Amino acid sequence: MNIIKLEEMLKQFFNEDIGDGDLSSEYIFSPKEQGTFSFYAKESGIFCGAPIIEHGFHVLDRSIKVNLPKKDGEAVEAGDVIAIIDGPLQKLLMGERVILNLIQRMSAIATAAHLAVQEISGTHTKICDTRKTIPGLRMLDKYAVRIGGAFNHRNGLYDAIMLKDNHIAFAGSLTNAIQAAREKVGHTVKIEVEIETKKQLDEAILAGADIIMFDNRSPEEIRAWLPAVPSSITTEASGGITLENIRAYAQTGIQWISLGSLTHSVKTFDISALVQMKGGYSIVHH
């Protein structure tokens, strides 16, 4: 993860939330008052977000001490302490919600990726994400996918050519689209094309696509069509794939499965903050 970019992102996120100041904390506590709180898991899954906790609080105050009993990629159970943070009360409370929001999302994505990878264990298929991320959070979303054991598809429009149905329609044909791209692209950039019919598959092969995505095809269709694909062409399946049917897709022999659900529809992972007090802890946020 690009730490310089991360800290710039965190500054923007804090600016949105804090604005001219945290009225609640600044009106109750003095800048010199110190405190401790911990983040703890309230469900089982894969933790992700250690850099967010460490750099997030340091953006607010370099004197804040962060202890991380759990590392990115480690399994957590309900009740496990993820981080212990010591420092000025005002700054702890200022940073708490932004940081929690981010690590809850990232842990949810990492957990979803882990579950998908586990579901296809024993096959030769690999899981990757898509560009269906929240604008502004792509670096974090894709980092979380990797932490969960899956892979990243292209990071944006700039690092690979992917010809979808609208590209093909505007170009007049799948062949026209691939040829136009091939004439201008450098040798290090791959061309991927989506196909939905056997005719499109044959056309993509003849036109020289590097990667062919079987879009919204059933496992039965993919299994029947795959023998026609030369070994030099990478194969991918996407669309309509869930944890319930992902193994059936993997067993077709497809090389990659891309899942938009890893980032566009995860349920927030439940993490809370606890303030350390005399005699124990007190929950301050869910």
Known catalytic residues are 97, 132, 164, 194, 215
b/e 106-142 (16+ beta carbons within 10 angstroms → b): bbbbbbbbbbbbebbeebebbbbbbbbbeeebbebbb
What does the alpha-carbon distance between residue 206 and residue 204 come to, in Å, rounded to a whole number?
6
- CA 131 to centroid of chain Cα atoms: 10
The 10 Å Cβ neighbour count of residue 278 is 4
Phi and psi at 66, nearest 5°, equal: -120, 125
| Residue closest to 162 by CA, chosen among 133, 189, 182, 191 | 191
